[in-house]
Amino acid sequence: MAVRKVLRYGDPILRTPSKDVHKVSKKIQELVTDLLETMYAQNGVGLAAPQIGENYRVFVIDVSTGDEPLNPIVFINPKIIKKSGAVRSHEGCLSFPEAYTDVKRYANVMIKAMDRKGKSFVLEAKDGCLLARAIQHEFDHLDGILFIDHSINRFETESILESLEFPPIEEDKLIEEKELEEQINDAESAKED
C-alpha cells in the first residue's frame, strides 16, 4: 500500500480504455487503497485507476471538506444509468497539475457500481453538485476521456495548457455536446437578463 505516482497528461495510459474488474480480488482492494492514499496525499477530490497506471474500471471520490469526516466512495465497474440537465463546471485534474478550465457537464447523474467489498449500489447526485461533476470526470477517465475534451472554450484551454507546458489539446478527442452547450448558454443568458 502506497502513495503512487500520478501520470501526467501526455502519457498514453490516460488515453487507454480500461478493463472491467472480474473479481474484487486482493489486488483490486490494494489498488483501491493506493487510489485513496494517493488522492488524499494530493488533496484531490477524485482519482481513477488509469491515473496511477492501472487500466481497470475503478475510481474513488471524496467530496468532504474542512473539518468534515472523510467520506471515501469507491466505484468499481461503474455504469451511468441516468443523466440530465447541464452545468458549467470549473475543473482541474491531478494529471494536469495547476491547469483549470471550464467544461460542460450534466447537472444530474445516477450511477450504479460495486463498492470495495463487491457489493452493488446506486447513487444519485443532483443540481450540478461537486459529487455529480466529479462522478462524470472520474468515469470518463475509464474510457480514456479527459476533462479538457469537454472544454467550453477550447482556445482558452489551449492557452492554459501551453502556459503550463503541457502537450496541446488533441482535436480529434474534443467532444461535441451541442445540447449541453445550448442549455448552459440559455441558463447563463437568463441569469444576465
Which residues contribute to the site for Zn ion (CB under 5 A)? 93
Given 54, 91, 138, 177, the catalytic residue: 138
Q: C-beta of 93: minimal distance to Zn ion in Å? A: 3
Residue 138 appears among annotated catalytic residues = yes
- Alpha-carbon distance of 60 to 51, in angstroms, equals 11
Q: If DSSP states are collapsed to H, E and C, what string results for 9-22?
A: CCCHHHHCCCECCC
Give the Å distances, CA to CA, from 43 to 9, 61, 65. 18, 11, 10
* C-alpha to C-alpha distances, 89 to 66, 131, 147, nearest whole angstrom: 21, 12, 10
Beta carbon nearer to Zn ion, 61 or 93 = 93
Q: What DSSP line would sit under 127-182, residue for residue?
A: TT-HHHHHHHHHHHHTTT--GGGGBS-HHHHHHHHHHTTPPPP-GGG----HHHHH
Residue with Cβ nearer Zn ion (96 or 113): 96
Residue 23 beta carbon to Zn ion: minimum distance, rounded to whole angstroms: 26
Nearer to Zn ion, 154 or 187 (CB): 154
Considering the complex, state which of residue 99 and residue 114 has its C-beta at the smaller distance from Zn ion.
99
Alpha carbon distance 153, 159 (integer Å): 10
Instruction: Cite the active site residues.
Output: 138
